[in-house]
Structure 1
Amino acid sequence: MLLKIDFESEVPIYQQIKNQIIKGIATGELTSGESLPSVRQLAADIGINFHTVNKVYTQLKQEGWVIIHRKSGVIVQPQLKGELTEEYLESLEENLEMIAAEAYLRGISRETFVEIINKKFDNFMRKGEK
């Protein structure tokens, strides 16, 4: 998986990496049981501090997207359960609230907003079925 980092973005580098790994899992670009680069290797490849990559991997582990073995490294969770927790739903609502607020303030209609969400969700469903 090729990561594209925008060093000029307001989105922190660790969040960009995390988002792209989660998208990679959702689209099937990263498959269940696949090994990810080591912390030091990924940091060297991108040209960032290894603590940044370590933070990403730790968060992905806490959220259940990867498992970390001392010997075999970081692996995409082989048994993705798709657990739907109350904590996740609350986080989803908070994130969507901010996105919806910004879309509203920019004059995007409800129909266009919902159309964009449906298109993005459908893209993941199609790619995930492959």
Structure 2
Amino acid sequence: MLLRVDAASTVPLYQQIHDQIILGLAGGGLRPGETLPAVRQLADELNVNMLTVAKGYNLLKAEGYLVSDRRQGTRVAADFQADAVFQQELATQLRLLIAAAKIRGIAAPELQQMITAQYQAFGGKQHA
């Protein structure tokens, strides 16, 4: 797994780790059941504090993307479900992004095209 963080970014380092792991899952770079580096190891590789990596991992665990135990370490969860909590959070985030797009003059067809292109970039099939 190859992660990179940008210390100069306004995005917190733990959020960069979180986001890159989700992108890795969606893009196929990470697979269910795959073991991730230990917190200490990843912190050393990224040259960040261990608490930063732990915060990113803990957020991913809370969201159901990662599981961990003492014997097998931290690994990608085997199954992901779009439960009611996830769907509500998705709707909230989409509402904000759509509002920002509307304010900036992006028309609905253009926005839909952007969403479809991003979805397909992760190997998603378009449904009729």
Query: TM-score, normalized by length of structure 1?
Result: 0.87
Residue 111 of structure 2 corresponds to 113
2:83 alignment partner, one of 69, 82, 85 = 85
Residue 92 of structure 2 corresponds to 94
Which consecutive unaligned segments of at least 5 residues does structure 2 have?
none
Q: Which contiguous aligned blocks of 4+ residues in structure 1 show a shift greater than 3 angstroms?
A: none
For residues 115 and 11 of structure 2, the distance between their equivalents in structure 1, rounded to whole angstroms, comes to: 21
For residues 20 and 35 of structure 1, the distance between their equivalents in structure 2, rounded to whole angstroms, comes to: 15
Identity %: 39
Q: CA deviation at 1:20?
A: 0.8
Residue 30 of structure 2 corresponds to 30
Q: Tell me the number of residue pairs that the alignment of Structure 1 and Structure 2 aligns.
A: 124
Q: For residue 118 of structure 1, what is the amino acid of its counterpart?
A: T
Q: CA deviation at 1:68?
A: 0.5
For residues 21 and 60 of structure 2, the distance between their equivalents in structure 1, rounded to whole angstroms, comes to: 9
Residue 46 of structure 1 corresponds to 46
Residue 101 of structure 2 corresponds to 103
2:28 is equivalent to residue 20 of structure 1:
no
Query: TM-score, normalized by length of structure 2?
Result: 0.89
Q: Deviations over 1:2-50 (max 9, x none)?
A: 1121222222111111111011111111112111111011111111110
**3-state SS of the aligned residue for 2:71?**
coil
Q: CA deviation at 1:71?
A: 2.4
